[in-house]
Amino acid sequence: MVITPYLIIFMLVVFALLFLFLNTVDKRKWLSALISIILTPFVYFYMFYPFVNIVSNYHHQKYFNSEAWVEKPALRYEMIDNTIESDTLIGLSKQKIKNLLGKHEWLSWNNTKKDFDSNKWNYGLGIEPGAFNDKKECVEITFEKDIVATLTHYQEEITYENEKE
């Protein structure tokens, strides 16, 4: 376990809250302090820490890896930020993108042509963990003259096949 300033601060907060609560049960401060010291790690790791992980939207950032992209599509959201910032895919051909990312999952709709646009490929990135997350992550790759021009990261509402409209 790595001891960080956040760990120490949160442990102190949990200790203070336990101490204040136990002080309402018994007025002996030494006993309340002793029980608080014993209970603090348990309350922190079994109540506070899981609750923070459920409501926070933190996830690991990873470098782009073609094998991981293809094998674990639900975890692509971990790679997309670095991929966009580092321009990893900018300037690559359609064939190279197909080799790295696999076949596009869907094409964007072009209202002027009333047809799908073969120069705008979309890939699903998965759903970022979090209790209040109701959107899925996606990326649109735009080609100009069969070369990647831009990557656009966006979110879509999560829909299920059995939902009634």
- Structure confidence by residue, pLDDT tens digits, 109-118: 988 888 999 9
Q: pTM (2 decimals)?
A: 0.69
Q: Using CA atoms, how far apart are residues 76 and 15, in angstroms rounded to an integer? A: 38
Give Rg (Cα) of the chain. 24
- Structure confidence by residue, pLDDT tens digits, 23-59: 898 889 888 889 989 999 999 889 888 888 777 767 7
- Structure confidence by residue, pLDDT tens digits, 70-95: 999 998 999 999 899 999 999 999 99
- Is residue 165 scored above 60 in pLDDT? no
CATH 3.30.1450 domain extents, the chain? 66-157
Q: Which residues contact 124 (CB under 8 A, 6 or more apart)?
A: 73, 76, 105, 136, 137, 138
Residue 159: pLDDT band with limits 50, 70, 90 = confident
Residue 153: pLDDT band with limits 50, 70, 90 = very high
Q: Which of 22, 23, 15, 20 lies closest to 48, judged by CA?
A: 15
- Widest pairwise Cα distance in the chain: 78
Domain 66-157 fold is Beta-lactamase Inhibitory Protein; Chain:B, domain 1 (3.30.1450)
Neighbours of 9 (CB within 10 A): 10
